Amino acid sequence: IERHLHIHDKADRVIKKLLLLGSGSSGKSTLFKQLKIIYDVGFEDSELEACRHTLRQNVVMGMLTLLRKSTELFESSPERYNKLRVDMDNQSLCDAIKLVVEFGSETFAGEILPPSDKMKLLGEAIGTLWDLEAIQATFMRRGDLFSFPDNMDYFFNKAELLFLDDFQPNREDALKTRIRTTGLVQKQYEIKENYFHIFDVGGQRNERKKWIHCFENVTAVIFVASLSCYDEVMFE
């Protein structure tokens, strides 16, 4: 038993354990996914399928956030935020908004998805709303007035494609999809004959109390920070 423990301890010392830490949306999971693309087999089919569900949900929730914030900011100061007002007298815009609101609680992950014709209309509705000057102006106020996920403009610009039956996310889609990390995710890599055990953890405040359990025998801590988020409103 002692010999096996010695062998295990020796092998464990060879593996360099790296812990990724940082606040929410700092880029820890993106770095983690990039390592998987470069030094592993990339994304598995199950991961891409989960990405498809998540990005669809993110696009719907993102548009609802922009609609809500455009209304809140305009009502708080009509003169200052006049350009953020959405014309609710336009019936076609009202219909588009109602359709997006209808899908507000949809996960897109069930075995039975909404009808394909309605999904197509949803993508077109989001595309129509994204093209509005008021929504674009509200989007430009993200960060300084409200928290908003990165890369959402990338997905809004292709909203019509995202809700088609045959849509399959590619590697770039998977990298840019915001998936909130909860708990602990780990992966082992061999890089130039060096073995690394990399841990990714959630960055939100309610997740940070779990960090203490990850420090044992860690070779190094990589603290990730987003250079573009130093003056932005936090998710919390």
Crossing angle between the packed helical segments 133-140 and 45-76, to the nearest 10 degrees = 100
- Report which secondary-structure segment, H or E, holds 186: strand 184-191
The pair of three-digit structure tokens given for residue 9, joined into one six-digit string: 């301890």
pLDDT at 22: 82
CA distance 14 to 143: 43
Written as tens digits, the pLDDT of the chain (236 aa) is 666 655 555 555 678 889 888 887 788 888 888 988 888 888 888 888 889 999 999 999 999 999 999 999 999 999 999 999 999 899 999 999 999 999 999 989 877 889 999 999 999 999 999 999 999 999 999 888 898 988 999 999 999 999 999 999 999 999 999 887 777 788 888 888 888 888 888 767 767 777 777 778 888 998 888 887 777 776 65
pLDDT at 29: 86
Contact between 200 and 32 (Cβ < 8 Å): yes
Distances (CA, A) of 25 to 107, 129, 141, 195: 21, 26, 18, 27
Q: pTM of the entire structure?
A: 0.83
pLDDT at 95: 96
CA dihedral 168, 202, 108, 46 (to 10 degrees): 40
pLDDT at 1: 66
